[in-house]
Amino acid sequence: MSAILFLVDSRTGRNVASKIPACGSVERNGARMSIKEDFAAAYESVADHGRPELLPARLAIACSLVLPVAGVGISMFGAHGMRIPVGASDDAAAIAERLQFTAAEGPCLDAHELARPVLATESLIAQRWPDFYAGLAERTPFRAVAAIPWPNTLKGAGTVDLMFHHSRDLVDLDFAVADEVIAQVEHTLDSESVIEFSPLGPGPAWLSGPAANSRNAVFIAMGMLNVTLEVTTPDALALLRGHAYASNRTLDDVAHDMANRRIAAKDLRVGSNQ
């Protein structure tokens, strides 16, 4: 895995990436094993139920079966800092994504901005992204994250988040294996996506899947704020984040309530007592 952003654990002074091996073939019990074959078997073991829109979720689950991780999330990025979740290995991984999006900070966002993998132990997350850490510690079992941008054909479009219960699990991860597995996830997502047509034009089916659709309420709420408060799209997103932070909720939950008229757009006006 090239160009890793090395982060030092403030408690130990130790580089958490110090054990990263050089990329290449992987030895298991003295025998050379194919990571590609391992991933292919895991991928085939996850049923798709004939639904191409579930491809990213299927890949996230397969990734979690091959790597010693506690959760996997796959996200893409759009305009105005919008992060679109497209697949997660389980509900906890999906919650971790929503918390990072709400806080507007975290290893995934930094990895995307820097175009480099970001490795973060628990102490580093608490120190560098305190708002994200507060939600992560309260609502998920995850305490360490490796956020890795797509390396090849989808480079610049999104990231894969590998999540761990303990910082030690991150330090012990074989990154040569992780590098190969993520390359397989990227190749499969790029090559097996089914193109569908919508009023917005052609696109991969997974953009209309349940994970991506879960963020639609944010776009609706931003549009409501654009019209009612006459604010820009970035300002509308900032208002939603501020309300979510003040009410200790996720941005997605606040946006869903606004889209369903349970929260009025005027209540998010700066200076409102609501």
Q: How far apart are CA 229 and CA 264, in angstroms?
A: 11
pLDDT (tens digit, 9 = 90+) per residue, 147-157?
999 999 999 99
Instruction: Give the DSSP H/E element, type plus range, for residue 222.
Output: helix 216-229
CA 54 – CA 177 distance, rounded (Å): 24
pLDDT class for 6, splitting at 50, 70, 90?
very low
pLDDT bin (cut points 50, 70, 90) of residue 195 is confident
Query: The domain at 26-198 falls in which architecture?
Result: 2-Layer Sandwich (3.30)
All structural domains of the chain with their residue ranges: 26-198, 215-268
Looking at residue 200, its pLDDT comes to 56
Q: Does domain 215-268 have CATH number 2.60.40?
A: no
Nearest residue to 101 via CA among 93, 110, 109: 109
| DSSP assigned state of 200 | T
Q: What is the DSSP string of 225-266?
A: HHHHH---HHHHHHHHHHHHHHTT--HHHHHHHHHTTSS-GG
The pair phi, psi for residue 231, each rounded to 5°, is -115, 160
DSSP 11-38: TT--BTTTTPPPSS-EEETTEEE-HHHH
Q: Which pTM does this prediction carry?
A: 0.83
pLDDT range class, residue 21, cuts 50, 70, 90 = very low
Q: Binning pLDDT at 50, 70 and 90, where does residue 133 land?
A: very high
Convert 30-42 to b/e letters by CB count within 10 Å (16 or more is b): eeeeebeebbeeb
Q: What is the DSSP string of 165-190?
A: SSHHHHHH--HHHHHHHHHHHHHHHH
Question: H-helix or E-strand containing 133?
Answer: helix 130-139
Ranking 61-65, 79-83, 118-122, 156-160 by mean pLDDT, the lowest is 79-83
Spatial distance between the Cα atoms of 168 and 274, rounded to a whole number of angstroms:
43
Tokens of 39: 């991933």
Residue 210 has pLDDT above 70, yes or no: yes
Place of tokens 């200076």: 271
Asked if pLDDT for residue 15 goes beyond 60, the answer is no
Mean of pLDDT values over 108-132 = 95
With cut-offs at 50, 70 and 90, classify the pLDDT of residue 272.
low
